[in-house]
Every structure is written in structure tokens, then in C-alpha cells.
């Protein structure tokens, strides 16, 4: 991991540990609630792992705080400014692609704003998110193939799509030029389930 990735991993790990301990949860309890292995959770808390976006979503949902809270200050401010180049790069590819979380809101109704660049050949397969999740995406440059529930949609510059994020979906750059796009994700009711509020399931 480079210095920026290491610093982000350490910040995320510290926030996960803080949120877990504030609830009086053991590592095993959070691992069970999130559906991840105890070893993965230990690595995340120690900042030794570069977990997938899917893993971070499962952990943040289990804690009932939403993904943006993992990369932001524990004490939310009424106005948060993310300067250019200072977002949290939570997805990278070997070809140089990046998925950067640039802004987000707090639970219970979490909205995430992402800035993406995918290089030729890049692909991200995303598992179904929590029930009720919606995604909106607009391509700025290039061409992007979005597959939702097995149906492909090819988007050119300026095209936009909205779809339910609670079904399997993927994004891929099947062209020869980089593709850039903006994406918003709405996840309602984060932390509202009894299990996430700390009662035993």
C-alpha cells in the first residue's frame, strides 16, 4: 500500500474499532453481524488490510453508521468540504482506475457521492446492497457498460442511469479509452434494524 492508502486504511480501522468498542461489541459479534471473517475484521481494525468496498459496506451497515462515516470525523459537522484530490479512494485497479468517495451523509438515510475513473479493461462486480438502495450514475467521458440483474446498458458521455442497488450489478470499461463518471448511492434506514441497534439476533 502507498502512503495515502495506508493512512486511509489506518483511519478506517481506527473508526471501526471505536464504533465497535463504543457498542461493547466483541470482534466476533461484529464479524457475525457484518458477515465477514474475524481475521478480516482484525486486519481492517489494524489498518493492515485494503478491504473491498463490499466488505466496508457490510461492516458499516452492521455498525449502523453508513460507509461515509468510516472515512469521516466521528463528530459530523453541519458543513463538510472535500477539496479536490482529498476524497477517500476506496477502489483502485492495477491499471490506474480509482473509485473515490468524495462526500456523504450520516445515517439513517445515507447518501454517497463518488467520482470514478475506469481504465480500459477495468471491471467492478458489486453484490446487492441493502434493501431499498438506489444508485444514480452519469458518464462524463468515455463509454461505460453497466449490468443490472444481468441486463447490460452501454452509456456514452452525458448519458445517465438510475437503478436499484439492492440487486447484483457491475461496471466495466470495455472500450479503449478511460471512462470517467459520477455516481450517487442512496441507502435508506441504515442502522434501523434491531440487530444493528445492538439487540441480539
Last residue of a domain, one of 27, 43, 70: 70
Residues 114 and 177 placed together within one structural domain of the fold:
yes
Band of residue 201 on the pLDDT scale cut at 50, 70, 90 = very low
Share of the chain above pLDDT 90, in %: 58
How high is the pLDDT of residue 174?
A: 97
8 Å CB contact between 58 and 34: yes
108 prior amide bond cis, ω within 30? yes
Between 141 and 189, the higher pLDDT residue: 141
Torsion angle, alpha carbons of 21, 48, 166, 135, to 10: 110
Tell me: do 115 and 65 sit in the same domain.
no
Q: Is the pLDDT of residue 145 over 90?
A: yes
Last residue of a domain, one of 70, 98, 118: 70
CA dihedral 1, 145, 164, 157 (to 10 degrees): 100
Mean pLDDT of 197-201: 31
Across the range 4-18, mean pLDDT stands at 86
Pairing of strands 98-104, 151-155: unpaired
* pLDDT at residue number 151: 96
Secondary structure class of 144 (helix, strand, coil): strand
121 bridge partner residues = none
Q: What was the pLDDT predicted at 70? A: 85
The pTM is what?
0.78
Average pLDDT over residues 7-12: 86
Residue 153 is part of which domain span? 88-187
- Pair (58, 8) in one structural domain: yes
63 and 27 in a single domain? The answer is yes
**Domain shared by 105 and 149, yes or no:** yes
pLDDT for the residue 192: 65
59-102, pLDDT tens digit by residue? 998 998 888 888 876 666 678 888 898 899 999 999 999 999 99
**41 φ, ψ (degrees, to nearest 5):** -65, -40
Compare 141 and 43 and report the one with higher pLDDT. Answer: 141
The whole-angstrom separation of Cα 46 and Cα 41 is 9
Domain boundary among 18, 36, 70: 70
Residue 141 sits at φ, ψ, to 5 deg, of -145, 145
- With respect to residue 168, please indicate whether it lies within any of the assigned structural domains: yes
Q: Residues 108, 176: one domain?
A: yes
Task: Give the count of domains, the chain.
Answer: 2
Indicate whether 194 pLDDT > 60: no
Q: Are residues 46 and 123 in the same domain?
A: no
Per DSSP, 37 falls in state -
First to last CA, the chain: 37
CATH code for position 113: 2.60.120.10
DSSP 114-130: EEEEE-TT-EEEE---S
Question: Do residues 68 and 101 make contact, with C-beta atoms less than 8 angstroms apart?
Answer: yes
Amino acid at each position: 500500500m502507498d502512503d495515502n492508502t495506508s493512512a486511509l486504511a489506518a483511519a478506517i480501522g481506527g473508526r471501526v474499532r471505536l464504533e465497535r468498542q463504543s457498542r461493547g461489541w466483541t470482534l466476533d459479534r461484529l464479524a457475525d453481524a457484518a458477515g465477514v471473517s474475524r481475521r478480516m475484521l482484525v486486519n481492517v481494525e489494524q489498518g493492515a488490510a485494503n478491504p473491498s468496498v463490499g466488505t466496508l459496506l457490510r461492516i458499516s451497515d452492521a455498525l449502523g453508521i453508513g460507509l461515509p462515516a468510516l472515512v469521516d470525523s466521528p463528530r459530523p459537522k453541519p458543513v463538510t468540504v472535500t477539496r479536490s484530490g482529498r476524497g477517500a479512494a476506496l477502489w483502485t485497479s492495477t491499471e490506474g482506475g480509482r473509485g473515490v468517495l468524495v462526500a456523504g451523509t450520516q445515517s439513517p438515510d445515507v447518501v454517497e457521492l463518488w467520482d470514478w475513473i475506469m481504465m480500459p479493461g477495468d471491471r467492478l462486480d458489486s453484490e446487492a446492497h441493502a434493501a431499498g438502495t438506489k444508485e444514480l450514475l452519469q458518464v462524463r467521458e468515455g463509454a461505460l457498460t453497466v449490468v443490472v440483474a444481468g441486463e447490460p446498458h452501454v452509456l456514452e458521455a452525458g448519458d445517465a442511469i438510475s437503478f436499484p442497488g439492492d440487486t447484483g450489478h457491475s461496471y466495466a470499461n470495455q472500450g479503449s479509452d478511460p471512462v470517467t463518471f459520477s455516481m450517487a448511492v442512496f441507502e435508506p434506514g441504515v442502522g434501523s434494524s434491531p440487530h444493528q441497534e445492538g439487540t441480539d439476533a
